Structures are given as structure tokens and as C-alpha cells.
């Protein structure tokens, strides 16, 4: 029984230490945006990020939006993010996005260039789970407001 306890203790300790490294992160969220020609759309951002030195993170966000009518967009973008804290990749951040804006409307496909800026706040709930409310502005989508939840590993 003691051996089992010791093995479990070291496994749990090792997982917790691994969670503290926070080299990569992934998440999914919900967003209300203006990714439609007329009216608003609902979006699902899928997030992947990699920590660089201290305050910086790079990665990609793919947002799929639909206006509940006949307008769907897919936005594969790459980003660079800067946190205002000196460590831990949490707290307030600003981010620059660049990528494609792919429109699917009434059987037509229209590709466009996508550029934007995002700001938000990352809050850790535990050692590796986070929530991230954020807002963005840019072209051609105008704005987006949402939240992403995910894990660091």
C-alpha cells in the first residue's frame, strides 16, 4: 500500500509541475461578432498558442461564424500576443491577428484578407485551466466579443 501511495504521489506531483511549465495551450470558445454583411453572427473560436520568452505568445485562432441565415465565414488567423505581467502568461494582454477571411454565401466563395487587434484577460482557474474574455476589432469583420476556455500543457 505504501508503494502505491508513493507512486501516486510522485505522478500527481509530476503532473502539477508539468502544468506549471505552460509551454502550449489550446481552447475553444463562443463569440458574438459582425462577421456578416447584414446583422450579427455567432462564432466558435478554436485557439492554439505557444509561449515565447516571458511576455509573448504566438499561435493561431480559427473562428467559424454563421449568421443563422445564409452567411458563413471561416477565419484562420495567426497571432502574436503580449502580456502586461512579467511572467506566468496570465492577466491583461494585447494581440495582433493576420490571416484569411473566407466567406461562404448562397453558394458563392469569397476569400479576403483579415487583419485585426484583440485585447483581453487570461485568468487561471487551477494549475492549467484558463478562461479568457476578449474583444477584437479589425477588417473586414468590424468587431467580436467573446470568451475562450482551455488548458495549458
pLDDT in tens, 94-136: 999 999 999 999 889 999 999 999 999 999 999 899 999 999 9
| Threshold 0.85, pTM exceeds | no
Taking residue 129's Cβ as centre, other Cβ atoms within 10 Å add up to 14
> Does 52 score more than 60 pLDDT?
yes
CA 35, CA 37: separation in Å to the nearest integer? 7
- Three-class SS state of 92: strand
> Does 57 score more than 80 pLDDT?
yes
Q: Which three cell numbers stand for residue 71?
A: 452567411
Average pLDDT on 26-43 reads 93
Using CA atoms, how far residue 87 sits from 20, 53, 61, 108, 145, in Å, is: 12, 9, 23, 46, 26
Given CATH 2.40.160.20, say whether it is the number of domain 28-152. yes
Amino acid at each position: 500500500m505504501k508503494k502505491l501511495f508513493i507512486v501516486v504521489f510522485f505522478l500527481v506531483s509530476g503532473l502539477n509541475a508539468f502544468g506549471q511549465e505552460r509551454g502550449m495551450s489550446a481552447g475553444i470558445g463562443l463569440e458574438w461578432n459582425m462577421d456578416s454583411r447584414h446583422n450579427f453572427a455567432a462564432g466558435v473560436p478554436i485557439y492554439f498558442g505557444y509561449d515565447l520568452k516571458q511576455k509573448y505568445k504566438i499561435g493561431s485562432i480559427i473562428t467559424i461564424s454563421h449568421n443563422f441565415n445564409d452567411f458563413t465565414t471561416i477565419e484562420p488567423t495567426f497571432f502574436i500576443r503580449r502580456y502586461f505581467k512579467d511572467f506566468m502568461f496570465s492577466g491583461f494582454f494585447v494581440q495582433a491577428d493576420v490571416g484569411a477571411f473566407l466567406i461562404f454565401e448562397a453558394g458563392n466563395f469569397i476569400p479576403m484578407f483579415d487583419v485585426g487587434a484583440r485585447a483581453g484577460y487570461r485568468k487561471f482557474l487551477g494549475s492549467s485551466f484558463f478562461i479568457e474574455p476578449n474583444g477584437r476589432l479589425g477588417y473586414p469583420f468590424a468587431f467580436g466579443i467573446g470568451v475562450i476556455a482551455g488548458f495549458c500543457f
